[in-house]
Structure 1
Amino acid sequence: MQQTALEPVDEELTLAERAYRAIRDQLVMLEIRPGAPINEDQLGQALGVGRTPVREALKRLQYERLITTYPRRGTFATEVNITDLAHISEVRLELEPLAATQAARRATATDRAGLTALRRELDSAGAPGRDSADLMRLDLQVHRAVYAATHNPYLEDTLVRHDNLATRIWCLFIDRLSDMAGHVEEHGPLIDAIVTGDADKAARLARSHVEDFERAIRGAI
């Protein structure tokens, strides 16, 4: 089972946290397909961890609506339901601009350096050889970096969960989308606004990005 390297490895993370992040990103990127059974032993072997960290990770993932458990049937990756798009977008339209605003106001020098590095990577988003999955990983990295720069763990956790659910919908229709690189490159001006501390512009761009996302998905259905 392929693992998705979306975040740097932190040696201080607990085994349960490592398992959670790895399984989460496999579910988000649809490397574990919607409706697929979740086998604790196979996951543990693939990740090199025991059953207890995997079980702890799965408890969190069930709360985040990425897996579901049925009595006497087992645990499965949740289906991707397009009818959820409106509900997810409703939340993100309110909270993404807030996150962009707070990131512009609160980002540390380290945050800004990390965002600037991602900004440089965005410049090559449309280069030949970058497949859609690679671009999707970059999209997730940018969103998570912005959320982290808010320095509000409650806002960050909420937005990571909703962005994960939105990304699963995005991945489901990825083959029907004509300008994946363009969507990802939209983050460039947003990062610029955050790095320069322009909170109002960052908020406007964040809201526009969510609106463009929903529009693109509905156009692909």
Structure 2
Amino acid sequence: MAGNTEVRPHDAAGSLADRAYAVLRDRLIVLDIAPGSPINDERVGTELGLGRTPVREALKRLEADHLVAAYSRRGTFATPVDITDLAEISEIRERLEPLAASRAARLASPATRAELRALADTLEERGLQSGDPRDAMRYDMQVHRSIYSASGSRHLEDTLVRYDNLATRIWCVVLDRLPSVSEHVVEHIHLLRLIADGHADAAEAAARQHVVEFERLIRSVL
């Protein structure tokens, strides 16, 4: 149900690069590829059954996302996670997340609203039953990507996905130290239903509060 955050492929080469990008991006976000680790394009290509060209194209996009860094004669590495970036990332998200929620509440199609309601129902049925913060992290990414997609603005979606990815990496660093995240899941349910029901002003306020509470939650364990 998450929104499609990848560039829609126009040819086979683009499709392969999109695939490499999506796999590497999510591994970098959840720290399956540890910060500072080298990334060998040939090894990644072999693992994914791809040539080096689509992997290299994916790495260029990931560099623009600040998830990898390329150094002359040294290679490409997963970027470090800098906790001090939290304030700046949160400030940007606090301004743009409410806009995305408001736009989604005003502009989403009936089919998209039905998807958001279904996601809220799934969170209520499953999310609150799990105390595993990793489940909350996955739901968080799914919810945010769905809302960004529903906003109807490709530029806003691309920007917010990038900053949400960086915020999620910080979350993953402190994941094992976090208290119960059930309240965080409840916030998602409320926000999704506000958007699905077209309550733009309330959705805008709820999205802003969600970002504020996310930063507070992270800082509570730093």
TM > 0.5 fold call = yes
More off after superposition, 13-22 vs 41-50:
41-50
Q: Within 2, Cα distance between the matches of 1:38 and 1:150?
A: 34
Letter matched to residue 207 of structure 2: A
Letter matched to residue 206 of structure 1: A
Asked whether the equivalents of residues 174 and 221 of structure 2 are also in contact (C-alpha less than 8 Å), the reply is yes
Report what 2:43 is aligned to. 42
Pairwise CA distance, 1:7:
7.4
Letter matched to residue 189 of structure 1: H
Report what 1:126 is aligned to. 128
Report what 1:63 is aligned to. 64
Report what 1:3 is aligned to. none
More off after superposition, 115-124 vs 55-64:
115-124
Match of 2:171, SS?
helix
Letter matched to residue 178 of structure 1: P
Report what 2:96 is aligned to. 95
Report what 1:107 is aligned to. 108
Letter matched to residue 125 of structure 1: G
Letter matched to residue 197 of structure 1: G
Asked whether the equivalents of residues 133 and 178 of structure 2 are also in contact (C-alpha less than 8 Å), the reply is no
Match of 2:129, SS?
coil
1:6-25 superposed matches below 5 A: 13=9, 14-25=15-26
Q: Within 1, Cα distance between the matches of 2:72 and 2:32?
A: 25
Report what 1:33 is aligned to. 34
State the structure with bigger RCO (CA 8 A, min sep 6), 1 or 2.
2
More off after superposition, 181-190 vs 197-206:
181-190
Match of 2:102, SS?
helix
Pairwise CA distance, 1:112:
1.1
Match of 1:125, SS?
helix
Letter matched to residue 179 of structure 2: S
Residue by residue over 1:4-57, the C-alpha shift from the partner in whole angstroms, topping out at 9 and shown as x without a partner, is: xx778x9x8411111111110110111111111111122112222111111000
Report what 2:180 is aligned to. 179
Report what 2:221 is aligned to. 220
Residue by residue over 1:98-155, the C-alpha shift from the partner in whole angstroms, topping out at 9 and shown as x without a partner, is: 0000000011122112211211121121214x63323211110100000000110000
Report what 1:161 is aligned to. 162
Q: Within 2, Cα distance between the matches of 1:111 and 1:27?
A: 28
Consecutive unaligned residues of structure 1, counting only runs of 5 or more, are 1-5
- TM-score computed with the length of structure 1 as normaliser: 0.91
Q: Within 2, Cα distance between the matches of 1:18 and 1:113?
A: 27
Q: Within 2, Cα distance between the matches of 1:27 and 1:208?
A: 27
Letter matched to residue 181 of structure 1: S
Letter matched to residue 51 of structure 2: G
Consecutive unaligned residues of structure 2, counting only runs of 5 or more, are 10-14
Report what 1:86 is aligned to. 87
Residue by residue over 1:150-181, the C-alpha shift from the partner in whole angstroms, topping out at 9 and shown as x without a partner, is: 11000000000000000000011000111223
Q: Within 2, Cα distance between the matches of 1:190 and 1:32?
A: 31
Number of residue equivalences: 213
More off after superposition, 13-22 vs 23-32:
13-22
Q: Within 2, Cα distance between the matches of 1:147 and 1:204?
A: 16
Letter matched to residue 149 of structure 1: A
